Structure 1
Amino acid sequence: MSETFVTAHAMRLAPGRSAFVTHTEAPIPEFNGPFLCDIGQRPRSYGTDGTPTSARPALPLGRIKPLRDRAVAGFLRQTGTEVMMTEFGGMGVEMAAPAAAAGVKLHVHFHGYDASSHLRFPKIVKAYQTLFAQAEGFITPSRFIADNLVGIGCPADRITVVPCGVEAENFPPSSRSPGLCMAVGRFVEKKAPLTTIGAFAKIAEAHPEARLDYIGDGPLWEEAKAAVAQAGLEDRIRLLGSQPHDVVRKTMGEASFFLQHSVTSSNGDTEGLPVAIMEAMSAGLTIVSTRHSGIPEAVIEGESGALVDEHDLDAMARELDRLLADPDMAAAYGAAARQRLLEKFTLNHAIDKLQHAMGLA
């Protein structure tokens, strides 16, 4: 449910003409078309009213893959599906056989880890190379991710770069509460939450009005909590944990700065183009982030945000210090970011590109 682009694609690519296939027990709540669920175990299909249309067969796990392939292919035929898009490269590999059996054109949407850290595994690379000959087209959220795929043999002319996009109306210009910084994301290595907290702590004394609201949780949560305590900033850095998207929107409607120190993790995992960055652009926040993956493709350094090298805590602190000291410059960055979002990175832009790439327009 945190991957809001999945909901957007399901609801907007072909309204009223879509079917949904998922590993989970139920589809997204807003989707009211036919769906096939639990394909990782024993598939069961449902009609538009949510009533099961096929029983869950009791078979040993060793026979799940052929069962799943037959079930998915039958579901695609039953629903008259002509074009299929999978979210993430691994699902593209899984869906290639049933899509071919049903005569369905397959498009594979890569997002981040599936075209970064996963490329370190020869078996996955080999599976992708087979997929490159099977699928109709490939979609990536950034040129950076596209180049990763080209590097292992994906034909460049079959890749379409489509940032996921956001609904700008859901993220109107912020009221820009003075000094309020925010960050959103899992407390994992590639988000570098400790670096973000460290950079804020470094400038906290010079800017007593500044405060940081950090939304998210994950394996680095306890270390982050300890870092805040060690800096003596419990009253100015609030670790809010995982929150509903409504809370993210509300916070973006009040904050002035958006901080995200994305890095390449030790296992090679990278971002694609973070949706949270684009949401912050829509809200007109002043972005302080890194020269990482697709981020520089959205944030124009020195014009619509400030970017620093990965792992450079001191540089992030300097940029934050500079912009906190110059509210007019910070506001100008935020206004330029929103304008750029409206011109290139809305959900409407993304859906239009996807529809054309997949022949749905």
Structure 2
Amino acid sequence: MLPSPAARRIAVVVKGYPRLSETFIAQEILALEQRGLDLEIWSLRHPTERAVHPMHKAIRARVTYLPEYLYEEPLRVLRGAFWSLGQKGFGATIKAFWRDLKRDFTANRVRRLGQAFVMARELPAEVRHLHVHYLHTPASVVRYAALLTGRTWTFSAHAKDIWTTPDWEKREKMAEARWGVTCTAQGTAHLQSLARPEQVSLVYHGLHLSRFPSPPESRPARDGSDPLDPVRIVSVGRAVAKKGYGDLIQALAALPPDLHWRFAHVGGGELLGSLKKQAEQAGIASKVAFLGSKAQPDIIGLLQVADLFVLPSKEAKSGDRDGLPNVIMEAASQGLAIVATDFAGIPEFIRSGTEGELVPPSDWEALSNALNLLARDPERRKALGSAAFARLRRDFSMEGGIDVLEERLRAVSDNTQKEAERV
């Protein structure tokens, strides 16, 4: 039975939900909901963090969790598989799956197919279009589910999924998707080289400034000369290789002894233990605080009382890299001076010497020098922070990107509905 003409619900598929490191996705879902789009969320994983962002609490969309591992819900997977056997798209789905498996013979490929079986069976009839975040694992599940059911799909690509997914896989997925967007010019150019250029568009996440307090009217003029009032340096990001925190510990350890400072890191991640050990071995553990994951209000509070924000992103050995990290824009929302690396999407927002200071990735000596100079110069920090906030308001507000997504999602939903009615 076809859905009624009024049905326009879209399933938004994510790898995990909710996740503090992906507030840009929550921001997008909430904004689209507030513009009247009927959405539901499908997640490949259950949440792993206790804290949630206030935006997650405001989102009304129903959340469905697929079996994270197939053995955990065998009956659900079997029901999905038997149901899928009777679908017209089963042959095309299995053909696509075998092509993928031959080139990447891993258990993860089988898990994606099993999740797709479950999703295809359980999707409500009124959902005719799927929009997936990330072009790697989540897009595989969506691709198979779309082949099984005849639904259409689109994608938002971000960072790791662009740079660690094989080119053959990206080409084949993009050829089947209606369109896609990504959040950096670098990522856009790469994906356009593998697809029809008009199929992939640059859409910055931006920041919804109404969700953030205004920057502090003034900050203490700390210059690192007072041991009782040290310069406060902060960073927010997962402790993973692409964030470059090992370089940052080296840079902090190399700061001159006459400069008084404290550093706070917010975020979880697999490298936290080794970073703490590195700080101890470097003799700076008493000046460094690893605070773990924090809710957004706590992070904003930390940014408001800080003097400097730092993010030394680089390319990991796996090829993983950042896009344009939202935390850079969040720091700018509080008028905070920023030191980062001239890498990935960061220079699309921060122009070195204008909105912040950029150093080469993996160059801890240049990073240390930039931190030292800015720590001693409160007036320079104020100028850079004000310029970053002005650029954020002028060129990187959320509304422009949401305008594009709303228009495109409404158009593809309407077209899909008309196609279904003609069948």
Range of TM-score over shorter length: 0.7 to 0.9
2:23 equivalent in structure 1: 4
TM superposition shift of 1:190: 0.8
- Provide the rounded CA distance (Å) in 2 between the counterparts of 1:94 and 1:9: 21
Q: Counterpart of 2:242 in 1: which secondary structure?
A: helix
Q: Counterpart of 2:339 in 1: which secondary structure?
A: strand
1:355 equivalent in structure 2: 406
Between Structure 1 and Structure 2, how many residues are aligned? Answer: 342
2:132 equivalent in structure 1: 86
- Provide the rounded CA distance (Å) in 2 between the counterparts of 1:117 and 1:257: 31
Asked whether the equivalents of residues 41 and 61 of structure 1 are also in contact (C-alpha less than 8 Å), the reply is no
TM superposition shift of 1:62: 7.6
Asked whether the equivalents of residues 77 and 102 of structure 1 are also in contact (C-alpha less than 8 Å), the reply is no
Q: Among the aligned pairs, what percent are the same residue?
A: 24
Residues 302-327 of structure 1: per-residue CA shift (max 9 Å, x gap): 10011011111111111122222221
1:51 equivalent in structure 2: none
Aligned mate of 1:37, from 65, 69, 84: 65
Letter of the aligned partner of 1:57 in structure 2?
R
Aligned mate of 1:154, from 189, 195, 211: 195
- Provide the rounded CA distance (Å) in 2 between the counterparts of 1:101 and 1:60: 14
- Provide the rounded CA distance (Å) in 1 between the counterparts of 2:81 and 2:152: 28
The 3 A distance-change label for structure 1 pair 136 and 118 is same
1:52 equivalent in structure 2: none
TM-score relative to the length of structure 1: 0.84
2:382 equivalent in structure 1: 331
Are residues 1:211 and 2:262 paired?
yes
TM superposition shift of 1:95: 0.8
The 3 A distance-change label for structure 1 pair 128 and 225 is same
Letter of the aligned partner of 2:64 in structure 1?
L
- Provide the rounded CA distance (Å) in 1 between the counterparts of 2:371 and 2:116: 52
Structure 1: stretches of 5+ with no match in the other structure: 43-55, 120-124
Asked whether the equivalents of residues 80 and 121 of structure 2 are also in contact (C-alpha less than 8 Å), the reply is no
The 3 A distance-change label for structure 1 pair 156 and 305 is same
Asked whether the equivalents of residues 171 and 252 of structure 1 are also in contact (C-alpha less than 8 Å), the reply is no
Shifted more, 194-203 versus 64-73: the winner is 64-73
Asked whether the equivalents of residues 214 and 239 of structure 1 are also in contact (C-alpha less than 8 Å), the reply is yes
Q: How does 1:169-318 map to 2 (within 5 A)?
A: 169=210, 170-174=212-216, 176-177=219-220, 178=222, 179-208=231-260, 210-318=261-369
Shifted more, 251-260 versus 195-204: the winner is 195-204
Q: Counterpart of 1:89 in 2: which secondary structure?
A: coil
The 3 A distance-change label for structure 1 pair 358 and 58 is closer
The 3 A distance-change label for structure 1 pair 87 and 39 is farther
User: Would you tell me which structure has more helix in proportion to its own residues?
Assistant: 2
- Provide the rounded CA distance (Å) in 2 between the counterparts of 1:241 and 1:202: 24
The 3 A distance-change label for structure 1 pair 73 and 182 is same
Letter of the aligned partner of 1:20 in structure 2?
I
2:16 equivalent in structure 1: none
Asked whether the equivalents of residues 171 and 195 of structure 2 are also in contact (C-alpha less than 8 Å), the reply is yes
TM superposition shift of 1:39: 4.7
Residues 301-357 of structure 1: per-residue CA shift (max 9 Å, x gap): 110011011111111111122222221111111101011111122232332232234
TM superposition shift of 1:82: 4.3
2:168 equivalent in structure 1: 126
Asked whether the equivalents of residues 117 and 269 of structure 1 are also in contact (C-alpha less than 8 Å), the reply is yes
TM-score relative to the length of structure 2: 0.73
TM superposition shift of 1:100: 5.0
- Provide the rounded CA distance (Å) in 1 between the counterparts of 2:289 and 2:27: 30
- Provide the rounded CA distance (Å) in 2 between the counterparts of 1:278 and 1:83: 31
- Provide the rounded CA distance (Å) in 1 between the counterparts of 2:213 and 2:397: 11
Residues 219-276 of structure 1: per-residue CA shift (max 9 Å, x gap): 3223322232234333322222222222211101111211010000111111011111
Structure 2: stretches of 5+ with no match in the other structure: 1-18, 83-110, 223-230, 413-423
Q: How does 1:51-66 map to 2 (within 5 A)?
A: 57=76, 59=78
Q: Counterpart of 1:268 in 2: which secondary structure?
A: coil
Asked whether the equivalents of residues 190 and 263 of structure 1 are also in contact (C-alpha less than 8 Å), the reply is yes
- Provide the rounded CA distance (Å) in 2 between the counterparts of 1:66 and 1:266: 28
Letter of the aligned partner of 1:159 in structure 2?
V
Aligned mate of 1:117, from 155, 164, 178: 164
Aligned mate of 1:143, from 185, 195, 198: 185
Asked whether the equivalents of residues 111 and 141 of structure 1 are also in contact (C-alpha less than 8 Å), the reply is yes
- Provide the rounded CA distance (Å) in 2 between the counterparts of 1:229 and 1:34: 45
Q: Which has the larger radius of gyration?
A: 2
- Provide the rounded CA distance (Å) in 1 between the counterparts of 2:354 and 2:314: 22
Shifted more, 10-19 versus 304-313: the winner is 10-19
- Note the aligned Cα RMSD (angstroms): 2.9
